[in-house]
């Protein structure tokens, strides 16, 4: 563990960071959290900047910073393709019109969760609870992976004082639970804003600047030192392709994203704020791969031993001076805790709204619901700690959630939103078959379990829907989704296609350190995306 060197000054920076986020979370909760709905949905009033920060901070935790930098350290720039898995899926969710349509739907009828989408169309409590279980499982998976990362980081900092990994894990988690259990989504979103403001300058500017000026990681030095065939090939292997596919499918139906679409103040905010947040995530992946390549250039494998997840920590110690090490660790903690609190709150939302609340007495007060939310928060946090200690490896933990959740929920959710002939029995069958198939294929260690899971789920959903089709079984599409040929949707698709392409190209230009042609092309495409979205919503407002 000697590859991370921290001084007392660095530790005081970390302690101060912990104090600030706990205080900010509690302060925001006192101001705005008055009942169960405030805890879960924050009043559905978040603006573009808040949506940007919470979408970006939620998606890219230290599982991305730690796990993918380690992947780049070992496998090179090919990790750049799979590291975009969630970001590209999130872009597709906006591009396909899901973000705008869900927000419009939630303005028309009561939609508070993914389970509510199924309930409002089919009136099926069974569907609502199954989707709630799926959302809880997915959030638990991402939550646990970031708990593993924060346990590693705190142990690296305080292990020399006798703090074990298990106690480090509990200490780090308690920080996020402290304010999430009090304020819910209000505390989570405003702490995401704070933590995004910490991450942005440190990860995008300070650390790269130190690597270039202090450690000599110039483009010429990097490319002349590392083997081009191993470290700069963008051809992923089958395993990474499966992870990419699973991430794309999972992100399209991620409950955290759906919740942020719902809680945005209007349709423009849901689309534009999310677009900026997902752009941040794509660009971050480029910098993370650059960090991994820098570690491959500067850090000998013998320094890390078997723990390749420590690559970025060794790099921080190599590149930064005391005090700045603490700031960079605070940035990684910010990435970690922002993802922990968001997915913890999402798991609570799925559990409370889709599973627990339908069983509560009708006279249950808002204060009682708030108490239930806080109790569920603590229970889920404890379950996540248990999950971390049983499943080793940051990327492995995420992969399990991707495969099971995507297999079970993706096709039924898309069918619920867009397919007129879908039936409740068809969707229930698709969810169950998809989940079982994913578990079986993962247990058998078959390649691409997500392909098997989604395929069997799709076949089951289509066949059973056809067999059970009838006047009483087929329900109309929900408001927002029953529209077709809307110009705003075609404008969003074109703009976001340019934006997704531009951000990916820009990320590749950064990750391969550096390809200026890619960076220029990516920047132009991103500019066009922003202009097109702004013009599209101005036309809607004018009409």
DSSP 204: I
pLDDT digits (tens, 9 = 90+) for 79-126: 887 778 778 888 999 999 999 999 999 999 999 999 999 999 999 999
Helix, strand, coil in percent for the chain, rounding step 5: 80, 0, 20
pLDDT of residue 396: 61
Percent of the chain with pLDDT over 70: 95
**Closest-CA residue to 176 (of 50, 346, 309):** 346
Work out the angle between the directed axes of helices 267-298 and 85-95 (0-180°, nearest 10). 160
Residue 241: count other Cβ atoms within 10 Å of its Cβ. 17
Question: Which of 400-409, 448-457, 480-489 is the least confident region?
Answer: 400-409
> Residue 395 above 60 pLDDT?
no
Question: What secondary structure does DSSP assign to 43-70, as a single string?
Answer: GG-B-HHHHHHHHHHHH--HIIIIIIHH
Domain membership of residue 12 (yes or no) is yes
Domain membership of residue 81 (yes or no) is yes
pLDDT of residue 280: 92
CB-based contact 190:50 (threshold 8 Å): yes
CB-based contact 324:357 (threshold 8 Å): no
- 383-397 burial, b at 16+ Cβ within 10 Å, e below that, comes to ebbebbeebeebbeb
Secondary structure element (H or E) that encloses residue 270, with its range: helix 267-298
Instruction: Look up the domain containing 264 and give its range.
Output: 8-32+41-390
Domain membership of residue 526 (yes or no) is no
Instruction: Give the C-alpha separation, 128 to 113, whole Å.
Output: 9
Position with higher pLDDT, 242 vs 433: 433
Give the CA distances from residue 410 to residues 31, 413, 421, 431, in Å, rounded to whole numbers and listed in that order: 37, 5, 17, 9
pLDDT of residue 234: 80
CB-based contact 257:405 (threshold 8 Å): no
Two tokens, residue 421 = 């002939």
> Residue 521 above 60 pLDDT?
yes
Two tokens, residue 430 = 């698709």
Instruction: Give the C-alpha separation, 81 to 286, whole Å.
Output: 10
> Given pLDDT bands bounded at 50, 70 and 90, which one contains residue 153?
confident
Instruction: Give the C-alpha separation, 111 to 263, whole Å.
Output: 10
The count of structural domains within the chain is 1
pLDDT of residue 352: 94
Domain membership of residue 445 (yes or no) is no
Across residues 452-465, what is the average pLDDT? 96
Instruction: Give the C-alpha separation, 57 to 75, whole Å.
Output: 26
pLDDT of residue 159: 81
Instruction: Give the C-alpha separation, 6 to 27, whole Å.
Output: 30
Instruction: Give the C-alpha separation, 215 to 154, whole Å.
Output: 26
> Residue 1 above 60 pLDDT?
no
Across residues 215-222, what is the average pLDDT? 96
Q: Is the dihedral of CA 144, 147, 148, 149 positive or negative?
A: positive
Position with higher pLDDT, 463 vs 257: 463
Domain membership of residue 441 (yes or no) is no
Percent of the chain with pLDDT over 90: 53
Paired residues of 46 in beta bridges: 264
Instruction: Give the C-alpha separation, 501 to 510, whole Å.
Output: 14
Domain membership of residue 497 (yes or no) is no
Among all chains, which residue has been given the structure tokens 């009942």? 35
Domain membership of residue 156 (yes or no) is yes
> Given pLDDT bands bounded at 50, 70 and 90, which one contains residue 384?
confident
Cα diameter, the chain = 71
> Residue 45 above 90 pLDDT?
no
Residue 162: count other Cβ atoms within 10 Å of its Cβ. 7
Instruction: Put residue 382 in one of left, alpha, beta given phi > 0 → left and psi -120 to 50 → alpha.
Output: alpha
Q: Is the dihedral of CA 302, 389, 354, 370 positive or negative?
A: negative
Contacts of 336 by beta carbon, 8 Å cutoff, 6+ apart: 61, 62, 63, 146, 149, 150, 153, 172
CB-based contact 372:40 (threshold 8 Å): no
Instruction: Give the C-alpha separation, 149 to 292, whole Å.
Output: 16
Give the CA distances from residue 269 to residues 266, 273, 323, 518, 527, in Å, rounded to whole numbers and listed in that order: 5, 5, 37, 29, 18
Contacts of 43 by beta carbon, 8 Å cutoff, 6+ apart: 32, 37, 186, 263
Q: Under DSSP, is residue 264 helix (H, G, I), strand (E, B) or coil?
A: strand
What SS3 string covers 409-427? HHHHHHHHHHCCCCCHHHH
> Residue 528 above 80 pLDDT?
yes
> Given pLDDT bands bounded at 50, 70 and 90, which one contains residue 240?
low
Position with higher pLDDT, 159 vs 19: 19
Contacts of 426 by beta carbon, 8 Å cutoff, 6+ apart: 415, 460, 461, 462, 463, 464, 465, 466, 468
Instruction: Give the C-alpha separation, 21 to 338, whole Å.
Output: 10
Paired residues of 264 in beta bridges: 46
Q: Which CATH number goes with the domain that contains 294?
A: 1.20.1730.10
Q: What is the pTM of this model?
A: 0.89
Across residues 56-66, what is the average pLDDT? 75
pLDDT of residue 333: 86
> Residue 298 above 90 pLDDT?
yes
pLDDT of residue 152: 77
Contacts of 491 by beta carbon, 8 Å cutoff, 6+ apart: 532, 533, 535, 536, 539
pLDDT of residue 454: 93
Across residues 447-465, what is the average pLDDT? 92
Instruction: Give the C-alpha separation, 374 to 371, whole Å.
Output: 5
Across residues 388-405, what is the average pLDDT? 68
Radius of gyration (C-alpha) of the chain in whole angstroms: 22
> Given pLDDT bands bounded at 50, 70 and 90, which one contains residue 335?
confident
Alpha helical stretches, state H, 125-213: 125-158, 165-183, 185-201, 207-213
CB-based contact 54:270 (threshold 8 Å): no
Contacts of 262 by beta carbon, 8 Å cutoff, 6+ apart: 41, 44, 102, 103, 106, 111, 112
Position with higher pLDDT, 436 vs 235: 436
């Amino acid at each position: 563990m000697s590859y991370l060197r921290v001084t007392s000054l660095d530790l005081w920076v970390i302690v101060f960071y912990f104090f600030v986020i706990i205080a900010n979370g509690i302060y925001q909760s006192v101001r705005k959290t008055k009942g169960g709905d405030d805890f879960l949905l924050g009043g559905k009033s978040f603006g573009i900047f808040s949506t940007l920060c919470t979408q970006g901070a939620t998606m890219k935790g230290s599982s991305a910073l730690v796990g993918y930098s380690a992947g780049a350290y070992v496998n090179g720039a090919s990790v750049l393709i799979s590291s975009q898995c969630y970001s590209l899926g999130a872009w597709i969710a906006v591009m396909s019109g899901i973000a705008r349509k869900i927000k419009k739907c939630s303005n028309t009828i009561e939609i508070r969760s993914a389970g509510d989408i199924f309930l409002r169309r089919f009136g099926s409590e069974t569907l609502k609870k199954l989707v709630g279980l799926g959302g809880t499982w997915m959030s638990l998976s991402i939550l646990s992976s970031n708990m593993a990362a924060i346990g590693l980081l705190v142990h690296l900092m305080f292990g020399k004082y006798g703090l074990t990994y298990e106690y480090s894990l509990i200490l780090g988690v308690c920080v996020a639970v402290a304010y999430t259990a009090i304020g819910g989504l209000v505390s989570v979103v405003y702490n995401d804003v704070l933590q995004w403001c910490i991450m942005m300058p440190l990860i995008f500017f300070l650390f790269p600047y130190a690597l270039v000026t202090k450690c000599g990681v110039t483009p010429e030095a990097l490319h002349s030192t590392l083997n081009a065939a191993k470290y700069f090939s963008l051809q992923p292997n089958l395993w990474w392709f499966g992870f990419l596919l699973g991430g794309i499918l999972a992100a399209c139906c991620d409950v955290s994203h759906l919740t942020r679409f719902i809680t945005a103040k209007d349709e423009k905010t849901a689309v534009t704020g999310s677009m900026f947040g997902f752009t941040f995530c794509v660009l971050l992946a480029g910098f993370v791969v650059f960090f991994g390549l820098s570690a491959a250039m500067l850090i000998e494998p013998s320094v890390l031993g078997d723990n390749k997840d420590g690559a970025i920590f060794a790099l921080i110690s190599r590149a930064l001076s005391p005090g700045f090490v603490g700031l960079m660790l605070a940035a990684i903690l910010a990435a970690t805790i922002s993802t922990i609190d968001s997915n913890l709150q999402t798991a609570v939302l799925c559990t409370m709204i889709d599973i627990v609340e339908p069983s509560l007495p009708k006279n249950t007060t808002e204060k009682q619901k708030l108490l239930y939310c806080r109790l569920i928060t603590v229970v889920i946090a404890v379950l996540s700690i248990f999950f971390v200690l049983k499943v080793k490896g940051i990327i492995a933990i995420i992969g399990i959630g991707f495969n099971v959740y995507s297999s079970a929920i993706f096709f039924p959710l898309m069918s619920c939103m867009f397919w007129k002939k879908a039936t409740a029995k068809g969707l229930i069958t698709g969810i169950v078959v998809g989940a079982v198939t994913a578990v079986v294929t993962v247990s058998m260690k078959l390649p691409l379990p997500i392909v098997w899971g989604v395929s069997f789920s799709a076949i089951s959903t289509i066949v059973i829907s056809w067999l059970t089709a009838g006047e009483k079984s087929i329900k109309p599409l929900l408001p927002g989704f029953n529209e077709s040929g809307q110009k705003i949707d075609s404008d969003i698709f074109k703009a976001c296609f340019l934006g997704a392409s531009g951000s990916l190209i820009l990320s590749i230009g950064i990750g391969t350190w550096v390809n200026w042609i890619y960076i220029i092309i990516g920047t132009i495409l991103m500019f066009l995306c922003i202009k097109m979205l702004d013009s599209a919503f101005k036309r809607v407002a004018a009409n």
